[in-house]
Amino acid sequence: MTQSGLPLADHAHCLRRVAFALTLVFALAVCLQSICPQAVGQSLSRENAVQGQAVSREVRELYERGLGWLQNNQDATGRWKSSSGESGPGVTGLATMAFLAYGDDPNHGTYADTVTRGVRSIIEDQNPKTGYIGPSMYHHGFAMLALAEAYGAFDEERLWIQSNVDDSKRRTIGQALELAVRTAVTSQSKNSVGGWRYSPDATDADTSVSGSVLMGLLAARNAGIEVPDKSIDRALEYFRSMTSSGGQVAYTGGLGGLDNSPARVSIATLVYSVSGRKDLKEFKAASSFLIGSDVAETSDHYGEYTAYYKAQALFQSDIDAWDKWNKGLIRELKEKQRSDGHFDGNYGAAVATAMNLLSIALNFRFLPIYER
């Protein structure tokens, strides 16, 4: 809280709104560059050239077909269902982020109502006392990440308009984020290794759930929410303990169960990067392992999950490696996308479609968590 009595989150809200406005200005510059490069100059560095390149027509069409399916398959409450037929805030968070990542105005654009219903349902699903966005810490992590990405870009005056939701469930995004952060920090304090598992009361951890929650915390911190440094540091120590000198990353229980999982290596590489710890030997080892691996991600058992994390990890590690891999991924997804725009996956079409879209969303560069 601040002296004014308002949550710290609300004081950062206006800054995030400004940042989103600047992002739209940048997008206009990108469009101008594709039409008339002389209008914006041609003295860009290698990094800026990659950041400013126009998005190809095939990527836009692939992405828009996927968004069309997601929009048509959101239920009346604003949720999306997993393969089990049950809706969950983590699924809704991933789908909502897919819309935000496209860069369409979340307040007045084509998908504004879809985004509004998605954000609203995540907040409705949060326990108003504990801050937990269950039914698992997986859901909590992805839901927290989605709220952080919506924060600042979303006009909250429209959040509860024409809504019959009980007043006890109505909160601002900033308030919901602060509660979610508190849940994650409290859960970690009970954990013997400093990570997270499926239950908020778990005493063990795995790198998959821990990656989901830690990315949510990092996004919340980037959005202006107060996140204890010791919580981030302790989570990073957990990941360091699970990363081998060769760059492989274990799932749970220490380094005894190592394999060549590109998903876990990607998660570790990503959290080291976004935490600002590319100086760590573990980051360098994991990054090198990831860049040197050659796996058809969308063909394995957890294809969309792997592609989602690997896209971000490669982008943070080596922009040239990401560029090459990204082109191959786009070809794969074009072949796998169904005629109505969805993708199939082990956790249902909503999860697969959202994650596959997010794996190529770096071509648009709109989500703050995608910043290098």
Q: Please count the structural domains in the chain.
A: 1
309 and 295 Cβ atoms separated by less than 8 Å: no
228 and 236 Cβ atoms separated by less than 8 Å: no
The encoded tokens of residue 123 equal 């907040």
What's residue 152's pLDDT? 82
What's residue 30's pLDDT? 35
Whether residue 42 lies inside any domain: the answer is yes
pLDDT by residue for the chain (372 residues), tens only, comes to 433 333 444 444 444 444 444 343 333 333 333 333 333 333 323 333 344 458 899 999 999 999 999 999 999 999 997 766 667 999 999 999 999 999 988 889 999 999 999 999 999 999 999 999 999 999 999 999 999 999 988 888 888 887 777 777 789 999 999 999 999 999 999 999 999 999 999 999 999 999 999 999 999 999 999 999 999 999 999 999 999 999 999 999 888 777 778 999 999 999 999 999 999 999 999 999 999 876 544 445 568 999 999 999 999 999 999 999 999 999 999 999 999 999 999 889 999 999 999 999 999 988 877 876
CB atoms within 10 A of CB 76: 6
What's residue 200's pLDDT? 97
Work out the angle between the directed axes of helices 137-150 and 173-189 (0-180°, nearest 10).
150
Whether residue 347 lies inside any domain: the answer is yes
**Residue appearing with tokens 């609300």:** 10
What's residue 264's pLDDT? 95
* Kind and range of the H or E run holding 92: helix 89-102
- 151 CA to centre of own chain: 13
Whether residue 286 lies inside any domain: the answer is yes
What's residue 168's pLDDT? 72
Task: Give the C-alpha separation, 57 to 33, whole Å.
Answer: 16
Whether residue 217 lies inside any domain: the answer is yes
The encoded tokens of residue 344 equal 């199939």
Whether residue 2 lies inside any domain: the answer is no
Amino acid (one-letter) located at 1: M
CA distances from residue 308 to 103, 107, 194, 351 in whole angstroms, order as listed: 18, 26, 24, 11
What's residue 369's pLDDT? 78
3-state secondary structure at position 81:
strand
Whether residue 86 lies inside any domain: the answer is yes
Question: Comparing C-alpha atoms, which of 192, 190, 187 is closest to residue 213?
Answer: 187
CATH number at residue 24: 1.50.10.20
Whether residue 3 lies inside any domain: the answer is no
What is the residue range of 310's domain? 8-370
- The count of C-alpha atoms lying within 13 angstroms of the C-alpha of 77, restricted to the half-sphere facing its C-beta, is 14
Whether residue 1 lies inside any domain: the answer is no
